[in-house]
Structure 1
Amino acid sequence: MGINQGPISLDQKYTQQSGHVFLTGIQALVRLPMAQIRRDRAAGLNTAGFVTGYRGSPLGGYDQQLFAARKHLEQYNIKFQPGVNEDLAATAVWGSQQLNLSPGARHEGVVSIWYGKGPGVDRCGDVFRHGNAAGSAKNGGVLCLAGDDHGAKSSTVPHQSDHAFISALMPYLYPSSVHEMIEMGMLGIAMSRYSGCWVGMKVITETVETTAEIDLTDEMKPFIIPADFEMPPGGLNLRWPDDRYDQDRRLQDYKGFAAVAFARANKVNRITMDSPNARYGIMASGKSYEDIRQALRELGVTPEVAAKIGLRLYKIGMPWPLEPQGVREFAVGLEEIFIIEERREIVENQVKQELFNWRDDVRPRIIGKMDDHDKRFLPFAEELSVASLASSLTERLLRLNLNPEIAAMLRAKADWFNGRQATQMQAVAPVTRTPYFCSGCPHNTSTRVPDGSRAFAGIGCHFMALWMDRNTETFTHMGGEGVPWVGVAPFTDEKHVFANLGDGTYFHSGSLAIRQAIASKANITYKILYNDATAMTGGQHVDGELSPQQITFQLHSEGIRDIYLVSENPDAYPASDIAPGTKTAHRDELDAVMKTLRQVEGASAIVFVQTCAAEKRRRRKRGTLEDPPRRVMINPAVCEGCGDCSVQSNCISVEPLETEMGRKRTINQSSCNKDYSCLKGFCPSFVTVDGGKLRRRAPAGLGDIGDLPEPASRPSLDQPYNVAVGGVGGTGVLTIGALLGMAAHIDGKASMILDMSGLAQKGGAVLSHVRLSEHPADVTCSRIVTGTADLVIAADEVVAVAKETITLCESDRTFGVINTHLIPIADFIMNRDFNFQSRKVNSVLETALRKDSSFFDFTRPAEVLLGDSIATNMMMMGYAYQKGLLPLSAKSIEQAIEVNGVAVKMNTQAFQLGRLAAADPARLAAMMKSQDETVAPKTLDAMSLDEIIAHRSALLTDYQDEKLAKRYRDLVTQVRNAAVNGGFGDELPRAVAINYAKLLTYKD
């Protein structure tokens, strides 16, 4: 493709005005208002921009990107003001359209963009209805971004904002890919200005969390003003004074029709594939449009095959209101129309309505959620996939009188997909990686409740207490925390409950829930978890001023008299700074405080103050927060592996240490956030070091790696090349996908990268779908189709065997580069003897991947040679490159590392070390040995019975004397002989050999 010749920087995604740019869907939405202001300036308009809303996945990172781009936004008079909550933000948008009413207006209009998660759309119903009725400004315009999560990957319920927009009579657009985000966004603003409507735009993970290279050629193309719509006197835009009946008349009689006319003039809905004698039609919008295009490719339906079948494809950019003229033109001559939508149908019912009056002999059958016999066809609940659509489409096409060769091809392809889906349904991972509280997370302590009590959950990281041993049950929407108890309390003999409420939610809307609880006189204790960050969406601060002291005064003013402020440092909150009567306590006294408050009549409150552990870590790195000088370590010789430290701390940094003596415990010093809760067990194996610093292994001198041979071959891009990159959230996994995409951009190739993260930043699984191709037109669907991964790079075996990863693999196609280093999972905290199922995990991977796949502990050389396990991912990418598994050049990958600008030297060295590991593993081993001569001991599971006896005998001799060792051997020998004589195996003698030695060396 050879697009990029000049220097590349990360700022180009906002500053470049022609050619191609490489950006994420979120970044495209940041670029959108800048592009609109540029367009306005070119037209001689003096406009400004206003962006507001409330974060939530899949738009959880939008505010962070807007803050990061502030210098670019300011050049275009664009103001970003996060909302306290979604409906107040939408109210501010309503106000922005009233600028022309202000005598001091400095601009001719304000382009306004509102954003929010699907539930945020729901809570804005009243504002949307009023704002849309009032209208938009002639030179302003309103675009409302709805972040939908159809599969509830990062939500408490699946959501679909379509019906909320329809209820408010707001037209809405649905981009199908990141490539359309800016174009459709500006079209929505233009439509809003023309029609007076607020216009919605539906975005989902597959668009906003996808990274791609987009062409800017059409960014400034003009929009067409309809010639077939007659504006009423006075137009359709906002005005004052304005009678509500006049507003409703404009809305019902004109505005929606104006939007439809605008959509028709600009071909928002259009035929994108046709046949000379078309007889079968397919209609789809958004993600489903790209899914069905990919399904056609997977089925082998080329343009030539499509013409023989008689296919016609209709792309719908505005699902509601559906423009009728285009639908009728599309439907002419068709026998059947297959309408593809995720979740509840929108387009299907409109098409049926628009074609209802056609004669029976010319009206096509409509197939979608229901078939022509009113039987369910497409699912209502699940997300649709390329594989499922390929099967469903084939089922319908085979009813036509097809060419026998085409029918046989479709049947064979569909059978393959059906087989893959059956396998997918049966896939059960031996172990799973569940999201969990971070190391040192305040919620490890704050979400506990006393014996005999229970708590209600709500929105925030503390929601994860639901799957822990915390006696926490049920949850509410954001802002309803604790209020279900108001409906339960009058009808139960249970006297009291606790309700967890995060500080972000408290500021958003949760304070009203407390007011309701007070009004009801229910016996409830709110635990307001003040963590100083909205950690669930990336660590943002609340959007305003809020302190623990303020919260106590607010609670007191509402009428609560029993208030405790619990923290690590109670002395920091003198009585003069907090509400009258508020008591302070150390967090170690939380249990006693809760027992006191559960006896109180009415509402009471605990303000639990402890900064988010992840945010503490960030601030310590920046030098804005003191780094405590104390380190905690565990002496494995003293540790008995009882697991009480995990019980006390609930901390994932307390990890298993497999030794010759069995499983012990160790503190992962890299991830430890110095909460020190693990010390509460008063275990003699724990050692605290004050004032000392970790002796960091200096990176090895790697200047002697020299020139490495280029791979013998690299994959061809005749077809898209699919790479799945998996690992644990927070360890740099997503960076690998981003670097591969940037390297492709530098090489002049196309790419799409979809990051499936969910709760990954809480230690859960993360998976990037990376699709590389020679031309952008070759990759339109961002998600890798089941069974079509060419390469899996997995930094964690548990993520590699997860259903989401393993179903992408095909044993005769998919290469694996798998890190065998054990990364503990949350189950270990609750089960000290948890079986990590290593053999089953390896067996699953060996079955799913090609036989020449690579399994290697990449973490060990990263730590030994580079001093940081974070280099593991980059080493794996280098290894994959050297094995000839990446269709990119080493030069472009190293340049991508430079452009990224983070730890450039270390990441470049890690990439080179990964190449060395593949090209000359013996040399890598020699380099490691020169840096670290220690030999890892055998683990107990790997030792034979004779090795155990020999090892324990030597230990007992050192512990006391040879006499004790002989006593040990005598008993073990006696048991062993009895087992042999009885025809039993080594299981009993092995248990005796292990535990008798432990008994003889018992430590008090």
Structure 2
Amino acid sequence: MQALARLPMEQRRRDLRAGLNTAGFITGYRGSPVGGLDKSLWQSGELLKTHHLHFQPAVNEDLGATTVWGTQQTSLFQGSRYDGVFSMWYGKGPGVDRSGDALRHANFAGTNPHGGVIMAVGDDPICHSSTIPQQSEFALQAADIPVLHPANVQEIYDFGLLAWALSRYSGFWVALKLLTDVAESSGTIGVGDEHGAFVLPTDFEMPQGGPHLRWPDWATDMDLRMEQVRFPALRAFVRANAFDKAPLSPGRKRLAIVTAGKSYGDTRQALADMEIADAQALDLGIGIYKPGLIWPLETEGLLDFVEGFEEVLVIEEGRPFLEPQIKAALYDLPEPRRPRISGKRDGNGETQFRSSGELKPADITRVLGPRLTRLADLPGVTRRLKLLEEISNRGPGPGAQFPRTPHFCSGCPHNTSTKVPEGSSAMAGIGCHFMAVFMDRNTHTYTHMGAEGCTWAGLAPFSKTGHMFVNIGDGTFYHSGSLAIRQAVAAKAPITYKILYNDAVAMTGGQPVDGPISVQQIAWQMEAEAIKRIALVSDNPDKFNPAEFPSRLTIHHRRDLDAVQRELREYKDVSVLIYEQTCGTEKRRRRKRGKLEDPAKRVFINDRVCEGCGDCGVASNCLSVLPKETEFGRKRTIDQSACNKDYSCVNGFCPSFVTVHGGGLRKRSGSGADFDETLFANLPEPQLPDTSKAYAMLVGGIGGTGVVTVDALLGTAAHMEGKAVRSLDDTGLAQKFGAVYGNLQIADTPEALNVARLGAGHADLILGPDLVTSAGPKVLSLIEPGRTRALINTYEQMTGAFTRNPDLRIPSDSLRHGIADLCGAERTEFVDATRLALGLMGDAIGANTFLLGFAYQRGLIPISSQALEKAIELNGTAVQANLRVFRWGRLAAHDRAAVDKVLGDKAKTAEAPAPQSLEEIIARREADLTDYQNAGYAKRYRQLVDRVAAAEKTRAPGKQGLAEAVARYYYKLLAYKDE
């Protein structure tokens, strides 16, 4: 995203050097994998104004595209302040789909010769964070929009500048196809003048009138100009500037591989995995042709390259797009000059590359490997194929039965707002609240963004079901969802729309909604849409003045949500429930920045009163309510590090809850400002791993706990040491509590880094802040025995299923064995980083940095401690605390006894209760019951347990399981507090 954000600034600088006074315009609608572009632009601050850049996020994608169309019309009206305006539109695949009409009209009209338009199109081909897989080049082709396909961050920058030049020269809008693995990756790039430099064609004379936008202008003229002027100009510019490359061009021509974008990197990685260096590939007769412009394909360079090869193999992800263009280009060649062509299917018509899902280096190896072994004896190919077979035969591992699925954040309003009354159903919408479909919320089906409820408007006349709740977020409502409500009103559908107003676009990072929107405005708009029943539900209803709302609207506290919904479902027309509560994570951000009051109020659980029933978890649906294993059984505790102070857990109405007003968390011995840092003074520096080849690390953790930060720290530190870095934060839908993966590779040179995502058997290190994530099938497939090492946090962080199953237990032993059996016991280490960080610092949030320090001291991180600490300082967040917890991690790896000495009794606080004899169990509880009531009460307990023990000894000699169960649970019955 930073490369995209830098592009318009660089374009403005280059225009000034060329004597042009231009401005830039950026608009679009956020969505992964381009969901963070707006934040990167906002972070640029005054640089936007300095470079005459106007950034205006769009209400939705098609309206944004239309505003871009307007920026190209500066020459049509008097009073323009600039020579031209260069523009950038951004959006994900579904945004391209919904904008087809606007894109086709605007591209048909053309661009300004000193303006130009590029599109940053985010494609999510395997639905990491989307409702359908995307391959936008087909829609772009239908709109006659040329498509460039960057393979890495460097090419995003280079192609972006070339795209503006191409757009100005040819009159086309030009798209950059940005796959998740490219758009969400990071890397070190060059930004010198040679990057994105271009020349004008010398073999093409532009026809009179040129290719650009004008007025008056009519569709028939535009159509003719497209064919006779713009496409020829496009082809000439692409030829002149060598968008397409031939990285491997052998003298002896056997197999030509044509591949673009991410698939090019995957192909190079497959060759590296098979130990095929460039020189050997050339000796084998293997060539590689890499189109930069994937539509329309520039065929002159392609034909020159492939002529003389025996076979052309097209490698591309998704449905065939390059392959039919290549076949069409080669069709007219005489048969002796025309090579065989295969792609999705081989020469026998059998599938060799799937047209669905993700294409991985391993998939390419399985196709290329057997071909290569027919050309020569290649031990590296044989080894790689054998490893892939072993990995595919492993099975999913124990973690497959215990997945970490995404879950609402602590304090998320959707924990409450997405509940429906017994007997009712709901339909999901686009946003974090979509995760209700994973829970016991009777929430089913979804639509594309902005059409929420319309499917029910169509189904209702044919169904006996009399009513449906429909969830729609405030961002979706503003984007286009208000029209869906209008459609439901027109259809007289029995729907209650729950407009979930959480004051932020939480799913993509907490950005504000793109325009003025408030609870009051929504209410008045719904009044104007002729909706007769409107209710407002809030966690703080007293802040609303009824005079600011339509008279028909009623205001309620969120504790009355069920009753309000029961009343609305009886209403026979469209009704609206506005649920107002700020996003829990956004509250946390604002409190940290001092923009929101942080309540001096915390909730604790007295575990001696708690009976472990789990009602607090059911009431709150919150994963900051954790299990606590004690001598007296499983209890509950509040994770103070993760709690966002929603307080809905107290709705379990339990006497074990203690609310503390005015207090703060006590600082621990290792975190105080007066702590003696000399404890860290003599830490030895470890031998660092070799980076002459790519050193690959996978950080497997939980969304919202700092996995992405660890990845960023490592990348920044490596960059400061002059190393090449490539990383990818694989977050998917996880905002909080879901599995998150940080893929990071470090090497001495960028040529060693082909892909952003680690593939089968690629990992040198599994750094696991979360045991559950690290034992999952995705991570285990990265392990190569004898190569991979693993350092795993053993702390048991519950999954979302715990809110529905209070007896859920993490199968820790099984998960540990799943990792250690593959890596080898000698290459695997487990440490309870969370417990140690909490004990030393008083806050578990430092666990990941603690684990990083531990890994560094073990010699598993190929970066110096000086660079890592400098990266922590540059990050600027809780610098001293993070530096100290990093050093604590190092010390724990070097001298655990020194750490335990500082911890004292806290060194054992999180350990499971030690096994006890039957007599110890009875004696402890007998004493407790004496204190609880009196000696007679305790005697009553002792007598029953003794009778059961005697009977068990007679009937089952040598066994005492029954007596132990009675000792524990008869005590629980006698000491029950919840009365």
- One fold, TM greater than 0.5? yes
Alignment partner of 1:49 out of 7, 10, 24: 24
Answering whether residue 227 of structure 2 is matched by residue 227 of structure 1, we say no
3-state SS in 1 of match to 2:481: helix
Alignment of 1:668-707 (within 5 A): 668-697=639-668, 699-700=671-672, 701-707=675-681
In structure 1, the residue matched to 2:517 is 546
Residue of structure 2 equivalent to 1:9: none
Contact 2:162 2:196 in 1 (8 A): no
Amino acid at match of 1:733: V
* CA distance 1:574–1:226, change in 2 (3 Å): same
Which of 558-567 and 131-140 deviates more? Answer: 558-567
Distance apart, 1:691 and its partner CA: 3.2
Determine the structure 1 residue equivalent to 2:360.
385
Structure 1 residues 683-708: Cα deviation after superposition (integer angstroms, max 9, x where no partner): 11122223333334361414222433
Cα shift readout 1:539-591 (whole Å, capped 9, x = no counterpart): 11111111111111101111101111111233333332112311212212111
Measured in 1, the distance between the counterparts of 2:927 and 2:349 equals 77
| 8 A contact 2:318–2:358 mirrored in 1 | yes
Q: Give the superposition deviation at 1:409.
A: 4.1
- Give the structure 2 partner of residue 488 of structure 1: 459
Q: Which amino acid aligns with 1:956?
A: L
| Conserved? CA contact 1:632–1:667, under 8 Å | yes
2:932 is aligned, of 959, 984, 999, to 959
Distance in 1 separating the partners of 2:290 and 2:920: 69
1:475 alignment partner in structure 2: 446
818, 822, 843: which one aligns with 2:792: 818
- Residue identity matched to 1:542: V
| Greater displacement, 960-969 / 673-682 | 960-969
Question: For residue 837 of structure 1, what is the amino acid of its counterpart?
Answer: P
Aligned match of 2:152 = 177
The 2-side partners of 1:111 and 1:937 are apart by 59
The CA distance in 1 between the partners of 2:367 and 2:640, in whole Å, is 52
Q: How many residue pairs end up in the alignment?
A: 973
SS in 2 for 1:224: coil
Structural mapping, 1:134-533, within 5 Å: 134-219=109-194, 222-398=197-373, 400=374, 402-403=375-376, 405-406=377-378, 408-423=379-394, 428-533=399-504
Amino acid in structure 1 at the alignment position of 2:139: A
* Alpha-carbon shift at residue 94 of structure 1 (Å): 0.2
In structure 2, the CA distance between the partners of 1:945 and 1:180, relative to structure 1 (3 Å rule), is farther
2:738 is matched with which residue?
764
Match of 1:936 in 2: 909
Alpha-carbon spacing, 1:766–1:937, altered in 2? closer, same or farther (3 Å): closer
- Asked if residue 534 in structure 1 is aligned to residue 505 in structure 2, the reply is yes
In structure 2, C-alpha distance between the alignment counterparts of 1:857 and 1:520, rounded to whole Å: 58
Deviation (angstroms), 1:742? 1.5
1:961, distance to aligned residue in structure 2 (A): 4.6
8 A contact 1:28–1:178 mirrored in 2:
yes
Q: Cα distance, 1:231 vs. partner?
A: 2.2
More deviation, 254-263/731-740? 254-263
Partner of 1:22: none
Deviates more, 1:497-506 or 1:801-810: 801-810
Task: Check the 8 A contact 1:813/1:850 in 2, yes or no.
Answer: no
Q: Secondary structure at the match of 2:335?
A: coil
Unaligned runs of 5+ in 1: 1-25
Residue 814 of structure 2 is matched in structure 1 by 840
1:171 alignment partner AA: P
Greater CA drift, 616-625 or 537-546:
616-625
Distance 1:811 1:317 in 2: 38
TM-fit CA distance, 1:44: 0.9
Deviation at 1:620, TM superposition (A): 2.1
Q: Secondary structure at the match of 1:896?
A: helix
1:430 touches 1:837 (CA, 8 Å); kept in 2?
no
- Superposed CA offset, 1:870-896 (max 9, x none): 221122111111111122211111122
Matched, 1:581 2:552: yes
Measure the CA separation in 2 of the matches of 1:560 and 1:106: 46
Instruction: Return the alpha-carbon distance in structure 2 between the equivalents of residues 996 and 810 of structure 1.
Output: 51
Partner of 2:606: 635
Q: Which residue identity is paired with 1:849?
A: C
1:782 partnered with 2:753: no
TM-score of the aligned structures, taking structure 1 as reference length: 0.94
Provide the residue aligned with 2:73 in structure 1.
Answer: 98
Partner of 2:682: 708
% identity of equivalent residues = 48
Q: Do residues 906 (structure 1) and 877 (structure 2) align?
A: no
- Structure 2's unaligned 5+ residue stretches are none
State the shift of 1:915 in Å: 1.3
Residue 956 of structure 2 corresponds to 982
Are 1:722 and 1:784, in contact at CA under 8 Å, matched by a contact in 2? yes
Does residue 72 of the first structure (1) align with residue 47 of the second (2)? yes
Q: Which moved more, 1:357-366 or 1:373-382?
A: 357-366
> Structure 1 residues 629, 428: closer, same or farther in 2, change over 3 A?
closer
Q: Residue 890 of structure 2 aligns with which residue?
A: 915
CA contact (8 A) 1:708 1:916 kept: no
Partner Cα distance (2:778, 2:730) in 1: 10
Q: 1:360 to 1:754 in 2, by over 3 A?
A: same
SS of residue matched to 2:393: helix
Deviations 1:302-329 (A, max 9, x none): 1232123100001111111111111211
User: CA offsets per residue over residues 413-471 of structure 1, 9 Å max, x none?
Assistant: 22222322333666753422111111111111111111111111110111000011111
What is the identity, as a one-letter code, of the residue corresponding to 2:657?
A: F
Q: Closer, same or farther in 2 for the Cα pair 1:520/1:97, shift >3 Å?
A: same
1:508 deviation in Å? 0.3
Choose the corresponding residue for 1:733, options 694, 707, 713. Answer: 707
Q: Give the match's secondary structure for 1:112.
A: strand
Q: Give the 3-state SS of the residue equivalent to 2:446 in structure 1.
A: coil
| Structure 2: distance between partners of 1:1000 and 1:246 | 91
Amino acid at match of 1:243: W
Residue 948, structure 1, aligned to residue 921, structure 2: yes
Q: In structure 1, how many angstroms separate the alpha carbons of the residues matched to 2:911 and 2:920?
A: 10
1:127 to 102, 111, 114: 102
Q: Partner letter of residue 952 of structure 1?
A: R
Distance 1:832 1:812, change over 3 A: same
3-state secondary structure, aligned to 2:24: strand
What are the Cα deviations for residues 81-102 of structure 1, in whole angstroms up to 9, with x where unaligned? 0000001110000000001122
Q: Is the 8 A contact 1:711 1:883 kept in 2?
A: no
TM-score (norm 2): 0.96
Alignment check: 8 A CA contact 1:821 1:859 kept: yes
Q: Alpha-carbon deviation of 1:773?
A: 0.7
Structure 2 CA distance, aligned partners of 1:640 and 1:453? 32
Change (3 A) 1:221 1:168: closer
Aligned mates of 1:989, 1:362 — CA distance in 2:
87
**Is the Cα contact below 8 Å between 1:51 and 1:114 reproduced in 2?**
yes
Residue 89 of structure 1 aligns to a residue whose secondary structure is: helix
Tell me if the contact between 2:399 and 2:815 (Cα under 8 Å) persists in the aligned partners: no
Q: Which amino acid aligns with 2:261?
A: G
Residues 478 and 505 in structure 1, CA contact (< 8 A), matched pair in contact too: yes
1:762 shift after superposition: 2.3
> Higher mean Cα deviation, 714-723 or 465-474?
714-723
Q: Give the 3 Å change call, closer, same or farther, for CA 779–946 of structure 1 in structure 2.
A: farther
User: Separation in 2 of the partners of 1:368 and 1:738?
Assistant: 37
Distance between the aligned counterparts of 1:575 and 1:260, measured in 2? 64
Letter in 2 for 1:608: Y
When residues 569 and 895 of structure 1 are mapped into structure 2, their CA distance, relative to the original with a 3 A threshold, is closer
CA shift for structure 1 position 61:
0.9
Q: Which amino acid is 2:726 matched to?
A: M
